[in-house]
């Protein structure tokens, strides 16, 4: 192939066809050149199968992007090439009759190859190779019949290459449109699959397909992160996850992603959920540390509440993992923060049964409601500080900036008002759960 041909086609990618000269400017030499072109093109039409064979073989040798397609179904590629050559060479002879069909063929090829994942550069290279081969055959056939006529082809060379330019543009546009449709369809399928996994509605038979689609192991170790705005605070757009949370979690820190895709978020009406892929196996001693690392990596905006549920085994258990994450989210303070469910199981018990939690709070703490609110709040604050200090009046007093005896006096008053004994383990458990219910449920 002459180097002038290669330099001419090197600029075709993404180019728009040049406007041909008006007919009124064409010379007698142009008309003679068109006649020469038509004679050579008719010979090419008669030998299209041979030309198709040569082009398919050239594609196999020179274009790696087509090699797999030819190995997979050479007959299908052959038919595609033959169909394209038939319409495109026919357009050189009868442009009005063949133009629309040639355009449809080029669009069809762009769409088909996009669906098969053949790179766009490879498809454009195939068209350029075809154009170069047709042009070379036109020159060779003209030289065989009458070498003097070859100089006439110069007058139609621009038209021929403008035609190649035009079809490269058609193929590229069709390819990109098809690629956008396919990308949207894949993303939508991923969203639906993630939603089904987190809702617990995915079928067992679909788990293998889900694993391949999302790039996750079917039997991996997972947890789920739930994120929501604090009550009364600025609400997140339900169609978008909190972006700074997504950015804070890279795949190396546990946030699962499909290859080349965004983190696997699912947004519900009240919260957003992300699938966390853990590296350890069941009972791995490093698992709590891994969940801690994920929690520490969250750069949550002020007022954002986040809950991380317990780890589960396999994609089939992601529905349970989501419910655990929702429980952790309910156990999160209204002011915001991050809660690891495994470290707040008593709180999780309370929020898992709000009616029972409220009943427990009323039974244990109800007698305090007869006090003046400021007096009641002092006793509750002292009781909470004492429990947080593991029953040490000295440390509780330091937190409250009062003497340990003041702490003990307030605790005795609590016992007198409620009939509870804080040194009795069962009473201490009930008091702790009642305080959690009041804090989390507003009971």
What per-residue confidence (pLDDT) applies to 289?
81
199 part of a folded domain? no
As a whole number of angstroms, the distance between CA 74 and CA 180 comes to 27
**Rounded to an integer, what distance in angstroms lies between the CA atom of residue 442 and that of residue 165?**
71
Q: Does the pLDDT value for residue 261 go beyond 90?
A: no
Q: Mapping DSSP to helix (H, G, I), strand (E, B) and coil, where does residue 299 land?
A: coil
Question: pLDDT tens, 389-408?
Answer: 999 999 999 999 999 999 99
67 domain residue, yes or no? yes
Query: Both 49 and 133 in a single domain?
Result: yes
Q: Which range has the worst mean pLDDT, 140-149, 286-295, 313-322, 427-436?
A: 286-295
Last residue of a domain, one of 330, 351, 372: 351
* pLDDT reported for residue 242: 54
The reported pLDDT for the residue numbered 126 is 92
Task: Give the domain-ending residue among 159, 182, 205.
Answer: 182
Write out the two tokens for 256.
Answer: 């699962």
Could you tell me the two tokens for 235?
A: 């609400």
Say what the pLDDT of residue 153 is: 84
Q: How many domains does the chain have?
A: 3
pLDDT for 178 beyond 60: yes
Please report whether residue 191 resides in a domain. Answer: no
Over residues 138-173, the pLDDT tens digits come to 999 999 988 888 888 888 888 888 888 999 999 999
Cα–Cα dist 226/264, whole Å? 12
Predicted confidence at residue 49, as pLDDT, reads: 94
Residues 91-132: pLDDT tens digits? 888 888 888 999 999 999 999 999 988 999 999 999 999 999
So what's the pLDDT on residue 290? 84
Q: pLDDT tier at 337 (50, 70, 90 boundaries)?
A: confident
Rg for the chain (alpha carbons), in Å? 37
Q: Is the pLDDT of residue 299 over 80?
A: no
Q: How far is Cα 443 from Cα 433, in angstroms, rounded to an integer?
A: 12
Residue 331: pLDDT over 80: yes
Do residue 172 and residue 248 come from a single domain? no
Q: Note the pTM of the prediction, 2 decimals.
A: 0.63
Please check whether residues 234 and 335 belong to one and the same domain.
yes
Provide the residue range defining the domain that includes 320: 220-351
Whether residue 47 is found in the same domain as residue 177: yes
What's the N-to-C CA distance of the chain in angstroms? 86
Alpha-carbon distance of 438 to 72, in angstroms, equals: 67
Query: What is the CA 35 to chain-centroid distance, rounded?
Result: 56
Based on the domain organization, do 417 and 396 belong to the same domain?
yes
**Same domain for 269 and 390?**
no
Per-residue pLDDT, averaged over 59-85, amounts to 91
pLDDT tops 90 at residue 280:
no
Structure tokens belonging to residue 199: 């809702």
The reply to whether 253 falls in a domain is: yes
Tokens for 187, please give them: 């993303």
CB atoms near residue 225 (< 10 Å)? 31
pLDDT reported for residue 278: 87
* One-character DSSP codes across 97-143: HHHHHHHHHHHHHHHHHHHHT--HHHHHHHHHHHHHHHHHHHHHHHH
| CATH code of the domain covering residue 426 | 1.10.10.2840
For residue 336, is it left (φ>0), alpha (ψ between -120 and 50) or beta?
left
pLDDT tier for residue 9 given thresholds of 50, 70 and 90: very low
State residue 20's pLDDT score: 47
Query: What's the token pair of residue 17?
Result: 């066809």
24/172 same-domain check: yes
Question: If DSSP codes are grouped into helix, strand and coil, which group holds residue 304?
Answer: strand
Q: What is the mean pLDDT of residues 277-289?
A: 72
Are 10 and 148 in a shared domain?
Answer: yes
173 and 228: one domain? no
Note the pLDDT tens digit of each residue in 17-30: 444 444 433 444 57
Q: How confident is the model at residue 239 (pLDDT cuts 50, 70, 90)?
A: very low
229 inside domain: yes
Strands 337-340 and 304-308: parallel
Mean pLDDT calculated for residue range 212-222:
90
pLDDT at 158 (0 to 100): 85
Q: 11: pLDDT confidence band, cut at 50, 70 and 90?
A: very low
Query: Is the same domain home to 105 and 19?
Result: yes
Among the listed residues 440, 392, 427, 386, the one whose alpha carbon sits nearest the alpha carbon of residue 410: 386
What pLDDT does residue 284 have? Answer: 65
Mean per-residue pLDDT over the chain, rounded: 83
Give yes or no: residues 9 and 89 share one domain. Answer: yes
Angle, nearest 10°, between helix axes 404-418 and 393-400? 100
How much is the pLDDT for 269? 81
For residues 247 and 426, the model is more confident at: 426
SS3 content of the chain, % helix, strand, coil (to 5): 70, 5, 25
Q: Is residue 208 part of a domain?
A: no
Tell me the CATH number at 17: 1.10.490.10
For residues 353-372, average pLDDT: 91
pLDDT at residue 235 greater than cutoff 80: no
The DSSP 8-state label assigned to residue 233 in this structure reads S
């Amino acid at each position: 192939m002459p180097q002038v041909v290669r330099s001419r086609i090197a600029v075709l990618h993404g180019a728009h066809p040049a406007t041909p000269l008006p007919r009124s400017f064409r010379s007698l030499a142009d008309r003679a050149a068109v006649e020469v072109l038509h004679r050579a093109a008719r010979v090419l039409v008669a030998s299209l199968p041979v030309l198709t064979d040569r082009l398919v073989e050239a594609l196999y040798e020179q274009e790696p992007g087509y090699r797999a397609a030819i190995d997979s179904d050479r007959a299908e590629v052959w038919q595609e090439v033959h169909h394209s050559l038939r319409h495109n060479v026919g357009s050189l002879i009868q442009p009005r009759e063949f133009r629309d069909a040639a355009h449809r063929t080029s669009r069809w090829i762009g769409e088909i190859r996009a669906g098969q994942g053949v790179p766009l550069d490879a498809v454009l290279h195939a068209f350029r190779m075809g154009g170069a081969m047709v042009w070379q055959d036109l020159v060779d056939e003209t030289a065989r019949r009458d070498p003097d006529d070859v100089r006439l082809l110069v007058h139609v060379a621009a038209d021929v290459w403008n035609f190649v330019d035009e079809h490269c543009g058609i193929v590229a546009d069709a390819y990109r449109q098809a690629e956008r449709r396919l990308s949207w369809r894949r993303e939508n399928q991923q969203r639906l699959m993630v939603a089904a996994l987190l809702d617990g509605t995915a079928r067992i038979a679909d788990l293998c397909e889900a694993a391949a689609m999302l790039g996750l192991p079917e039997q991996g170790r997972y947890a789920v992160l739930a994120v929501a705005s604090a009550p009364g605070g600025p609400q997140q757009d339900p169609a978008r996850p909190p972006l700074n949370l997504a950015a804070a979690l890279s795949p190396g820190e546990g946030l699962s992603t499909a290859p080349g895709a965004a983190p696997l978020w699912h947004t519900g009406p009240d919260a957003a959920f992300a699938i966390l892929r853990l590296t350890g196996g069941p009972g791995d001693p490093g698992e709590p540390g891994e969940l801690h690392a994920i929690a520490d990596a969250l750069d949550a905006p002020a007022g954002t509440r986040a809950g991380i549920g317990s780890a589960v085994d396999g994609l089939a258990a992601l529905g349970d993992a989501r419910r655990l994450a929702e429980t952790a989210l309910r156990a999160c303070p209204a002011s915001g923060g991050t809660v690891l469910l495994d470290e707040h199981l008593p709180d999780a018990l309370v929020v898992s049964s709000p009616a029972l939690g409220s009943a427990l709070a009323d039974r244990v703490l109800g007698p305090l409601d007869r006090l003046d609110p400021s007096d009641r709040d002092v006793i509750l604050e002292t009781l909470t500080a004492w429990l947080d200090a593991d029953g040490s009046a000295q440390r509780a007093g330091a937190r409250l900036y009062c003497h340990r005896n003041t702490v003990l006096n307030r605790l005795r008053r609590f016992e007198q008002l409620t009939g509870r004994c804080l040194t009795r383990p069962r009473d201490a458990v009930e008091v702790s759960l009642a305080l959690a219910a009041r804090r989390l449920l507003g009971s």
